[in-house]
A and B are shown apart, each in its own frame.
Chain A
Amino acid sequence: MGEPNGLRDRAAIAGIGHTEFSKGLGRSEYDMAVEAIWAACADAGISPRDIDGVVRYDIETTDEEQLLSVLGNPEIGYFASTSWGGGASASVVVHAAAAIAAGLAETVLVFRSRARGKNSVFGKGSSLGGRYWERMDERLPELNQWHVPHGLVSAFQEMAMITRRYMIDYGTTEDDFAEVAVTFRAHAGRNPHAVMREPMTIEDHHGSRMIAEPLRLFDCNIETDGACAMIITSSERARDLRQTPAIIHAGAMAAGSHHRWTSSMYSRSRDDDSAARTGRRLFERAGLTPDEIDAFFCYDFFTSFVIIALEDYGFCRRGEGGSFVKDGGLSFEGGNLPTNTNGGQLSEAFIHGQNNNLEAVRQIRGTSTAQVADAELVLVAGANTDPTGAFILRR
């Protein structure tokens, strides 16, 4: 007997929308969010006033009140938020599907808006655009009191330490990281919305400057402005709407280490942490195995965590991610597992995973600029150094 899957095939992604992606749009997160939401509604063929549920990231700056004040005060009968940026990226969809399966809402909005190009800062608050870590208090009462005073100030520096230990434990190399960056850049080159489209070589990657060893500039996600939104409704209703529905076949979540809790993270084995737990539960609920998945969307905040995600979700064994990604292993054209066919957060845009979610829907619809032939099953995973979630879409 497998895990219960009470949301199996009950809900579907019926509409997707996004703004332009750019290194600096000079617009507020609120304004960009509304443009993306309107676009998603138009794509689905519904009015924004049909929205009766909202699931957002807990760090999202546009809250329910701000939504109501542009939606004309419709009934929002379900609202929820889930933890963190990367960790929330797939979990928001799991929450929305659960709300629909439980009958708590009929038309649920999921969205994320980020003004994070480095010149987009417009306030002191850590969630109000720009680089959060450049604007912290000089007295730290929270968890960051343990590492920021020693010069470990930002996520990419924390990720560098986790990456270094993974290289020691499993033999992953900088050449493996380069393969990921080059493949996703090639995908971005086909995508007119991608911010970084110039072709990249392995040598370009190795020649990019060090940011936090062992991570180089081209191992890191780009910092961008933009917003993404999706409309999730019952599968039954989705079939009557404008687009081919992307059916949410299964979803799973698991609490676990967060990259800011590094001392706790190192005391858990990878296979005992959130991403691996999510993967096991997801496949059991879906009644599927990794080799049945046609395309993978992982949270590519850093190249190293793409390789770790392939191993976390069972597409290959621990330590085998490097050989799995070699020679275009993640390419949409004949790769072992086409991954992040939009160019991902390394090359398209960094909207805390929502841009990857939208591309997963395009793969199911058959409308990607790097379309995987006959894509029927797509797995989308949130960040694998956070409490996280994942879901499987099917046609």
Chain B
Amino acid sequence: MTSLRNEVLTRGRPLPLPTLDTAPFYEAARRGELRFQRCTACGTWRHYPRPACPECMSRDYEWALASGRGEVYTWTIVHPPTLPVFEADVPYNVVDVLLEEGVHFQSQVLDCPPEAIRAGLPVEAVFVPVDEEITLVKFRVTPDQSKPHSE
């Protein structure tokens, strides 16, 4: 049984397979843009992609450009067990970012030690190409604008 288990474990890195509903998100990410659906009737932003607005029921929407800025709403630090492909990274963070536009988005904060993650941490989107089709949207801690630049 143990050998069978080893045969069926997912070894590679799981990636999104864009669908008719989600492809525009990934096309934008490939261009370095974070876009979400926004209702053109009432202006409400939404994620995940869906065919109508839950606020006003309108089926009209656009893929609108988001600022990429937000703050950490909640997070976890993952320890084993996890998928083999992620094991080299433990302990790693996964965060839910509440973006300025009001939508929640799951991702990771790059180059940030586990103990520095907190609710309210200001973050901004960065774009990490994985292959020709998929660029993952990750985040980094927003540089503190009040600090003088050190040359």
Query: Do A and B share a complex?
Result: yes
Q: Bits for A335-350, please: 1 = Cβ < 8 Å to B, else 0.
A: 0000000000000000
CA distance A215 to B94 in the complex (A): 14
Query: Known contacts A121-B4, A153-B86, A263-B105; is A212 also within 8 Å of B15 by CB?
Result: no
Query: Known contacts A151-B94, A212-B79; is A123 also within 8 Å of B17 by CB?
Result: no
| Residue picked from B16, B19, B86, B108, most chain A C-beta under 10 Å | B16
Q: Which of B9, B48, B73 contacts A146 (CB 8 A)?
A: B48
Whether A162 and B8, one on each chain, are in contact in the complex, defined by CB atoms closer than 8 angstroms, is no
Which of the 9-residue segments A135-143, A231-239, A352-360 touches chain B? A135-143
Closest chain-A Cβ to B103's Cβ sits at a distance in Å of 7
Whether B77 and A212, one on each chain, are in contact in the complex, defined by CB atoms closer than 8 angstroms, is yes
Query: Known contacts A149-B13, A151-B82, A151-B86; is A122 also within 8 Å of B4 by CB?
Result: yes
Collect the chain A residues with CB atoms within 8 Å of residue B104's CB: 262-263, 266-267
Q: How many residues on the B side are at the interface (Cβ–Cβ under 8 A)?
A: 46
Collect the chain A residues with CB atoms within 8 Å of residue B16's CB: 139-141, 145-146, 149
Whether A119 and B5, one on each chain, are in contact in the complex, defined by CB atoms closer than 8 angstroms, is yes
Whether B17 and A145, one on each chain, are in contact in the complex, defined by CB atoms closer than 8 angstroms, is yes
CA distance A161 to B75 in the complex (A): 5
Closest chain-A Cβ to B83's Cβ sits at a distance in Å of 5
Query: Known contacts A122-B1, A263-B47, A266-B73; is A150 also within 8 Å of B107 by CB?
Result: yes
Collect the chain A residues with CB atoms within 8 Å of residue B114's CB: 213
Counting residue pairs across A and B whose Cβ atoms lie within 8 Å, the total is 144
CA distance A134 to B89 in the complex (A): 17
Q: B40 near A: Cβ within 8 Å?
A: no
Whether A134 and B9, one on each chain, are in contact in the complex, defined by CB atoms closer than 8 angstroms, is yes
Q: Which residue of A lies closest to B94 (CB)?
A: A152
Whether A264 and B48, one on each chain, are in contact in the complex, defined by CB atoms closer than 8 angstroms, is yes
Query: Known contacts A139-B15, A263-B106; is A165 also within 8 Å of B73 by CB?
Result: yes
Q: A209 near B: Cβ within 8 Å?
A: yes
Q: A210 near B: Cβ within 8 Å?
A: yes
Show 27 A/B contacts (Cβ-Cβ < 8 Å), sorted by A. A119-B2, A119-B5, A121-B1, A122-B1, A137-B10, A137-B14, A140-B14, A140-B17, A141-B18, A143-B48, A146-B16, A147-B94, A149-B15, A150-B107, A151-B78, A151-B92, A151-B94, A160-B76, A165-B74, A210-B79, A210-B91, A212-B76, A213-B79, A215-B76, A261-B48, A263-B105, A266-B74
